[in-house]
């Protein structure tokens, strides 16, 4: 089933603010002695920072897991706060809501800014390659071992959060799953993502990484202070990809601003004045360097590029007899109900990817949100997304 939801009137005139509010590393901490990574390395004393709302029931099966996007954190109440609370889609009177900071990030979970137990120094550029599956593996360990969750009602997330959501559906990345057990996750709502990271998205991530590499203060990741120019530019590139042509045109047009920040006509001496959109991008870059780490940014964009549900899943083998799997086989193996959500103006993860995802999953439905916000519509179009979440959670136990 495919559903179109028109929320073009939801976007406010000033809707191009940063998608996250206050950011910090507050929360609970889970530690596992060893985390085996897909790259073959082992993280010792890997930590996961997370937050929770509501109460786990006696059956320990009313948990809802929410996964954040690239530069988010565990503070779900800050970036999807309208969904969270008594009687809201993430109903804290009915569900136990958990949101974790992503492996490799800089908000309390082990990443490049963490201390390497082997050296007593920060990992920095020596932090190993981590995958979406590694991140989900750590989250599952926390949920099972520290919170005692027996079964997850639903996993929900957008963008990189949607990629994690898809990985949660597979139990081959769960160290505690036993053969013959029912799926640990009973349903999912992935938004604004696809079956794997496409070439266009990898290229966009690489362009942002190249901005960091070009900063003389980056020093191959061995910097003592942030490579501010490169990190700022990387964020500005990202902000363009997160929104749409229409959103930028509606907000800024060809308006220019003077040094005082006042709009001026595009005539005479004012032709030297910067465009309003230039000032906006500069502001976003400056804001980002105050809240994020360059090596964490590299780690997470590379992690995002590893997204591929078909990797090593299925019966397809190479000439040496190694299982390579396929996207189609992996998707077809899933038995849980899934509601896919896309934004029709998303240029970074276009609707065609959500359509392909919904077609590949045996038990799926698709909702497409009509608005001009672009990729960040999954964060901004909350009034349109809320009833989709609520209805799906009520329909599927």
| Catalytic pick among 215, 305, 346, 376 | 346
| Catalytic pick among 100, 159, 187, 367 | 159
* DSSP letters for 363-382: TEEEEEEE-SSGGGHHHH-H
The closest alpha carbon to 56, from 87, 97, 113, belongs to 97
pTM for this prediction? 0.93
How confident is residue 377, by pLDDT bands cut at 50, 70 and 90? very high
pLDDT greater than 90 at residue 60: yes
Strand partners, 378: none
| Catalytic pick among 68, 307, 339, 375 | 375
Lowest mean pLDDT among 6-20, 236-250, 343-357: 6-20
Beta strands in 54-151 (DSSP E): 63-67, 96-100
The closest alpha carbon to 358, from 386, 373, 337, 344, belongs to 337
pLDDT digits (tens, 9 = 90+) for 240-288: 999 999 999 999 999 898 877 778 777 666 777 889 999 999 999 999 9
Average pLDDT of the segment spanning 105-113: 97
pLDDT value for 9: 37
346 annotated active-site: yes
Q: Which residue has the higher pLDDT, 236 or 319?
A: 236
Q: Which sequence spans correspond to the domains of the chain? A: 2-197+308-395, 201-305
Enumerate residues 6+ apart whose C-beta is below 8 A from 291: 23, 71
Q: Report the interhelical angle of 294-305 vs 160-168 (nearest 10°).
A: 50
Tokens in use for 220?
């191959």
pLDDT digits (tens, 9 = 90+) for 201-249: 999 999 999 999 999 999 999 999 999 999 999 999 999 999 999 999 9
Lowest mean pLDDT among 17-26, 198-207, 303-312, 371-380: 17-26
- The pLDDT mean for the chain works out to 92
pLDDT value for 23: 75
Beta strands in the chain (DSSP E): 2-6, 28-36, 42-53, 63-67, 96-100, 152-158, 188-191, 256-257, 263-264, 338-343, 364-370
How confident is residue 6, by pLDDT bands cut at 50, 70 and 90? low
375 annotated active-site: yes
pLDDT value for 17: 52
pLDDT value for 3: 60
Q: In CATH, which superfamily holds the domain spanning 2-197+308-395?
A: Alpha/Beta hydrolase fold, catalytic domain (3.40.50.1820)
The correct answer on CATH 3.90.1150.10 for the domain covering 201-305 is no
With H, G, I as helix, E, B as strand and everything else as coil, classify residue 48. strand
pLDDT greater than 80 at residue 394: yes
Q: Do 2-197+308-395 and 201-305 share a fold?
A: no
The closest alpha carbon to 76, from 103, 107, 115, 38, belongs to 107
Instruction: Return the percentage of the chain with pLDDT > 90, whole number.
Output: 84
- Separation between Cα atoms, residue 317 and residue 368, nearest integer Å: 36
241 annotated active-site: no
């Amino acid at each position: 089933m495919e559903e179109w939801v028109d929320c073009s009137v939801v976007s406010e005139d000033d809707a191009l603010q940063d998608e996250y509010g206050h950011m910090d590393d507050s929360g609970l901490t889970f530690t596992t002695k060893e985390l085996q990574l897909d790259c073959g390395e082992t993280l010792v004393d890997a930590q996961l920072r997370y937050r929770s709302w509501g109460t786990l029931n006696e059956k320990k099966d009313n948990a809802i897991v929410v996964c954040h996007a690239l530069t988010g954190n565990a503070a779900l109440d800050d970036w999807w706060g309208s969904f969270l609370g008594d009687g809201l889609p993430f109903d804290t009177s009915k569900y136990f809501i958990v949101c974790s900071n992503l492996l490799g990030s800089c908000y309390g979970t082990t990443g490049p800014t963490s201390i390497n137990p082997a050296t007593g120094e920060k990992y920095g550029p020596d932090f190993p390659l981590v995958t979406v599956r590694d991140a989900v593996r750590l989250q599952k360990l926390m949920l099972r071992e520290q919170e005692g969750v027996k079964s997850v009602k639903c996993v929900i997330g957008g963008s990189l959060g949607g990629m994690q959501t898809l990985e949660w559906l597979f139990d081959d990345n769960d160290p505690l799953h036993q053969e013959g057990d029912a799926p640990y996750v009973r349903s999912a709502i992935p938004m604004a993502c696809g079956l794997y990271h496409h070439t266009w998205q990898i290229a966009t991530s690489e362009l942002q990484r190249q901005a960091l590499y070009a900063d003389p203060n980056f020093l191959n990741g061995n910097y003592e202070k942030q490579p501010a120019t490169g990190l700022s530019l990387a964020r500005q590139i990202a902000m363009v990809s997160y929104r749409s042509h229409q959103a930028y045109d509606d907000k800024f047009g060809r308006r220019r601003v003077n040094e005082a920040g006042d709009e001026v006509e595009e005539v005479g001496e004012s032709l030297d004045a910067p465009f309003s959109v230039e000032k906006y991008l500069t502001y976003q870059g400056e804001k980002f360097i105050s809240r994020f780490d360059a090596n964490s940014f590299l780690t997470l964009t590379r992690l995002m590029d590893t997204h591929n549900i078909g990797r090593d899943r299925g019966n397809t083998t190479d000439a040496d007899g190694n299982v390579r799997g396929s996207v189609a086989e992996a998707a077809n193996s899933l038995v849980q109900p899934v509601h896919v959500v896309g934004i029709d103006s998303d240029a970074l993860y276009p609707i065609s990817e959500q359509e392909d995802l919904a077609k590949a999953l045996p038990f799926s439905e698709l909702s497409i949100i009509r608005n001009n916000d672009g990729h960040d519509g999954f964060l901004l179009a909350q009034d349109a997304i809320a009833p989709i979440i609520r209805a799906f959670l009520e329909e599927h136990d």
